[in-house]
């Protein structure tokens, strides 16, 4: 990568990380805190809604934000979304009951900038380096998830839940500063105008009809939906299993998560390089989906063995990070530059729907049928994805150097 691409990757990954850290930070501690300290927090339905409300509003606004970034520019839309995130954080910090927290979390999710950020990443990089940038962004999300597991109990003890939300607002201001001063300017001529493995998509002929009917995009959209549906369903049961079966207190769960995430990232990097440089794109992609399916059937056989659970979680993070990096890179190569924001908006909408439904469905299945049933359901979803991937394999479009790419 050239210096402009390295700068773009680092700054956009940091923006994603600051925002996602704020969203993740309450997950390990909010339910217990709300039950004891927030009026209305003894109702677990409202607590679950407060934790997942951001996914619900993101699902509705990813496409409008992505399309707006195509029309008005990436940076203005990102800044507007981050401003909404700040407002939502302040509302939650000042909340006096569970309903105000729900409203604040919904406002946080209304700053649905994922499509605009990933589209900007595609604007600022060449084909052969795009997956590396997406890997940087995906890795930053994994790292801040692990960091949130460590930091949340300590921050709650130090500054309280209101202080956590104020900190989240400050982090969002930091992301706005990065957007203005650290992210490179967008090239006047987009870096990407390559061929598609299928008939190309352009602004002619109806954007959404083309996006929703394009075979490769449909499979990628299903893939991100399935990936985050499985992830949320897993986290309905994994913390409880570690606590009740493994005997590991919640405050010590970071000892499992952090090494698993770091080891997974170390393994993910050579896998991405092999996919890009070694011509093993299909093998790595299909292998990651296969690994995801195996984890679902293996994780729930750990039977309270903490070390076995940690091993399965490491394999999960390997597959998750690889798929999180490869899929948006493929989308950015398939579509024309003028509608990247719209296509990534659809993609991120399906991601948010997966997050929201994963929590709801996982909780319902766990309540009615138990943890094992959740594992079998996750495994079935992963197997369906694997069959779809094997029947209709994805190939990256041919790489082209752009002679007018600005460095």
397 confidence band (pLDDT: 50, 70, 90): low
Question: According to the model, what pLDDT value does residue 394 have?
Answer: 64
d(CA 17, CA 390): 33
Q: What is the pLDDT of residues 201-247, one digit of tens each?
A: 544 446 777 787 777 888 889 999 999 889 888 877 787 778 777 78
Q: What is the pLDDT of residues 93-102, one digit of tens each?
A: 999 999 999 9
Residue 364 confidence (pLDDT) above 70: yes
Task: Read off the pTM.
Answer: 0.76
CB-neighbour burial class of residue 77 (10 A; exposed 0-12, middle 13-18, buried 19+): buried
Question: According to the model, what pLDDT value does residue 404 have?
Answer: 36
Q: Where are the alpha helices (DSSP H) in 73-214?
A: 74-93, 98-110, 114-123, 127-181, 207-213
Mean pLDDT of the region 337-343: 73
Q: What is the pLDDT of residues 234-264, one digit of tens each?
A: 877 787 778 777 788 877 877 888 888 888 8
């Amino acid at each position: 990568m050239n210096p402009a691409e390295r700068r773009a990757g680092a700054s956009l990954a940091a923006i994603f990380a600051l925002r996602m850290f704020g969203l993740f930070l309450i997950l390990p501690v909010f339910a217990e805190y709300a039950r004891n300290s927030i009026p209305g927090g003894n109702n677990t339905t409202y607590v679950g809604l407060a934790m997942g409300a951001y996914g619900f509003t993101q699902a509705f606004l990813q496409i409008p934000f992505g399309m707006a970034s195509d029309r008005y520019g990436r940076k203005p839309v990102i800044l507007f979304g981050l401003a909404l995130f700040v407002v939502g954080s302040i509302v939650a910090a000042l909340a006096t009951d569970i309903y105000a927290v729900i409203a604040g979390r919904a406002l946080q999710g209304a700053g649905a900038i994922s499509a605009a950020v990933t589209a900007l990443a595609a604007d600022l990089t060449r084909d052969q380096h795009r997956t590396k940038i997406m890997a940087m962004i995906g890795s930053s999300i994994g790292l801040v998830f692990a960091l949130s597991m460590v930091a949340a109990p300590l921050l709650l003890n130090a500054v309280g839940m209101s202080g956590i939300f104020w900190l989240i607002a400050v982090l969002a201001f930091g992301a706005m500063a990065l957007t203005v001063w650290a992210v490179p300017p967008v090239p006047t001529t987009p870096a990407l105008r390559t061929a598609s493995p299928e008939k190309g998509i352009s602004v002619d002929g109806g954007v959404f009809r083309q996006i929703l009917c394009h075979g490769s995009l449909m499979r990628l959209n299903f893939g991100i939906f399935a990936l985050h549906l499985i992830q949320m369903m897993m986290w309905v049961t994994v913390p409880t299993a570690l606590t009740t079966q493994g005997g590991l207190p919640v405050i010590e769960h970071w000892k499992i998560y952090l090494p698993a995430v770091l080891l997974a990232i170390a393994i993910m990097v050579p896998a991405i390089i092999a996919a890009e440089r070694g011509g093993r794109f299909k093998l790595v992609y299909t292998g990651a989906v296969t690994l995801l399916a195996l984890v679902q059937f293996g994780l729930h056989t750990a039977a309270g063995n903490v070390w076995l659970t940690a091993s399965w979680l490491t394999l999960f993070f390997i597959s998750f990070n690889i798929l999180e990096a490869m899929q948006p890179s493929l989308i950015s190569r398939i579509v024309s530059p003028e509608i990247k924001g719209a296509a990534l908006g659809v993609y991120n909408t399906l991601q948010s729907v997966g997050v929201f439904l994963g929590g709801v469905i996982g909780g319902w299945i766990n309540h009615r049928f138990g943890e094992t049933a959740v594992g079998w359901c996750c495994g079935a979803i992963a197997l369906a994805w694997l069959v779809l991937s094997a029947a209709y394999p994805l190939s990256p479009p041919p790489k082209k150097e752009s002679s007018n790419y600005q460095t």
